[in-house]
């Protein structure tokens, strides 16, 4: 099977920052792989190394068996990428910009025109096709970049936070396009929208401080969580802490308990008896992310503590 493999990849920037620390990953190079992680976790650094735009300090990586360092030129022919800070050429229209890019990649003018039209239509941005990019909004410019990589025949597409800055409707449209696109391309995606990763990705990786913390399908990630039951208490109905599990005080004043099935039964019965409003939901990627990375909100693990619910 065709794979993407990173083997003990480290990246030390000149500033002394160690952005990747023996990062190891092995995933099938098909469908969508989503890498999620907090700001500064190392996502862009990894994407740039895999897309042959940045050298690694040590370790090795290859996609479809093609080494990112030793065989970068060959890999570049089958890669297209939208960098996190990528921008369009402001004095070109989207149509000119995409067509020029395609011709630069080796397509004839005729083929480039056909591909540009198809891609503009697919992303529903034809009406901006002839507007100078300097006059376009930030979100439309990002769409133009995605449109550009879609128009290529690259087998591997890197999208570093493609939906940042898009409104909810445009984001949904982009998701539809990516679902279509993943049938014939391998898409390596980074995102801060965990719902996006959950809905689109065939496999998800969680990176924190330059290291891979978890990897799997959504179901596999759920199975890794010791406490798969998720109770949200909608009013201030907590009088004692849970006996077993993770207790999270949300920033909105709500409480969340992640716990075992047995404990969830006991807690929910207690809440019903006391007339406290609560909801019990399947774990979302947000919950899993917080559980694994444990930083965005206050998390206390009350396991084996004396106080019982």
Q: Residues in the site for ligand ATP, rule: CB under 6 A?
A: 13, 15, 17, 19, 37, 39-45, 84
Instruction: Identify the H or E element spanning 206.
Output: strand 203-208
CB of 46 to ligand ATP, least distance (A): 7
Q: Which residue is nearest to Mg ion (CB)?
A: 44
> What's the DSSP call for residue 300?
E
**Identity of the residue, 43 or 142, whose beta carbon is nearer to ligand ATP in the bound complex:** 43
Q: How far is residue 82's CA from residue 3's CA, in Å, rounded to a whole number?
A: 21
Q: Which stretch binds Mg ion (CB under 5 A): 43-51, 174-182, 243-251, 260-268?
A: 43-51
CB of 207 to ligand ATP, least distance (A): 7
Q: How far is residue 242's CA from residue 252's CA, in Å, rounded to a whole number?
A: 20
Q: Are strands 246-249 and 229-233 parallel, antiparallel or unpaired?
A: unpaired
User: Cα–Cα–Cα angle for 133, 177, 205, nearest 5°?
Assistant: 105
Q: Which of Mg ion, ligand ATP, none lies near 17, with the C-beta cut-off 5 to 8 A by kind?
A: ligand ATP
163 binds Mg ion (CB under 5 A): no
Q: Which of Mg ion, ligand ATP, none lies near 304, with the C-beta cut-off 5 to 8 A by kind?
A: none
**Identity of the residue, 44 or 133, whose beta carbon is nearer to Mg ion in the bound complex:** 44
Q: Which of 36, 14, 183 is nearest to 47 (CA)?
A: 36
**Identity of the residue, 45 or 256, whose beta carbon is nearer to ligand ATP in the bound complex:** 45
**Identity of the residue, 39 or 184, whose beta carbon is nearer to Mg ion in the bound complex:** 39
CB of 37 to ligand ATP, least distance (A): 5
Q: In the numeric block, which tokens belong to residue 151?
A: 């128009």
Q: Token pair 């992640």 is at which residue?
A: 258
Ramachandran angles phi, psi of 263, nearest 5°: -70, -35
**Identity of the residue, 42 or 94, whose beta carbon is nearer to ligand ATP in the bound complex:** 42
Q: How far is residue 238's CA from residue 27's CA, in Å, rounded to a whole number?
A: 42
The stretches of 52-201 forming alpha helices (DSSP H) are: 72-76, 94-104, 109-122, 138-151, 168-181, 194-200
Q: In the numeric block, which tokens belong to residue 131?
A: 């507007």
**Identity of the residue, 42 or 242, whose beta carbon is nearer to ligand ATP in the bound complex:** 42
Which member of 34, 44, 98, 197 binds Mg ion (CB under 5 A)? 44
Beta bridge partner(s), residue 36: 206
CB of 105 to ligand ATP, least distance (A): 26
Site track 79-118 with Mg ion (rule: CB under 5 A), x = hit: -----x----------------------------------
**Identity of the residue, 46 or 246, whose beta carbon is nearer to ligand ATP in the bound complex:** 46
Do 83 and 190 form a contact (C-beta atoms < 8 A)? no
3-state secondary structure of 85: coil
Q: Which of ligand ATP, Mg ion, none lies near 15, with the C-beta cut-off 5 to 8 A by kind?
A: ligand ATP
Q: Which of ligand ATP, Mg ion, none lies near 152, with the C-beta cut-off 5 to 8 A by kind?
A: none
CB of 213 to ligand ATP, least distance (A): 13
């Amino acid at each position: 099977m065709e794979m993407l493999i990173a083997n003990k990849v480290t990246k030390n920037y000149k500033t002394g920052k160690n952005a990747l620390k023996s990062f190891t990953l092995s995933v099938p190079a098909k469908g969508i792989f989503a890498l999620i992680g907090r700001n500064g976790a190392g996502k862009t650094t990894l994407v740039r190394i895999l897309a042959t735009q940045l050298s690694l300090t040590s370790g090795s990586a290859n996609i479809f068996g093609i080494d990112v360092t030793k065989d970068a030129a060959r890999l570049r022919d089958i890669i297209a990428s939208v960098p996190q800070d990528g921008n369009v050429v402001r004095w070109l229209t989207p149509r000119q910009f995409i067509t020029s890019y395609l011709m630069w990649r080796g397509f004839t003018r005729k083929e480039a025109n056909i591909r540009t039209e198809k891609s503009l239509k697919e992303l529903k941005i034809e009406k901006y096709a002839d507007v100078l990019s300097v006059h376009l909004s930030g979100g439309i410019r990002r769409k133009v970049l995605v449109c550009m990589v879609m128009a290529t025949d690259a087998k591997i597409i890197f999208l570093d936070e493609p939906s940042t800055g898009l409104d909810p409707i445009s984001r949904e449209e982009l998701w539809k396009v990516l679902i279509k696109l993943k049938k014939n391309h391998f898409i390596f995606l980074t995102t801060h929208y965990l719902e996006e990763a959950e809905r689109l990705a065939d496999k998800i990786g969680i990176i924190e401080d330059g290291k891979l913390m978890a990897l799997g399908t959504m179901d596999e990630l759920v199975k890794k969580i010791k406490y798969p039951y998720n109770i949200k208490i909608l009013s201030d109905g907590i009088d004692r802490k849970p006996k077993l599990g993770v207790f999270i005080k949300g920033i909105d004043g709500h409480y969340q308990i992640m716990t075992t099935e047995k404990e969830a039964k006991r807690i929910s019965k207690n809440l019903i008896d006391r007339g406290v409003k609560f909801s019990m939901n399947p774990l979302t990627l947000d919950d899993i992310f917080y559980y694994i990375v444990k930083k965005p909100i206050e998390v206390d693990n009350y396991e084996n503590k004396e106080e019982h619910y």
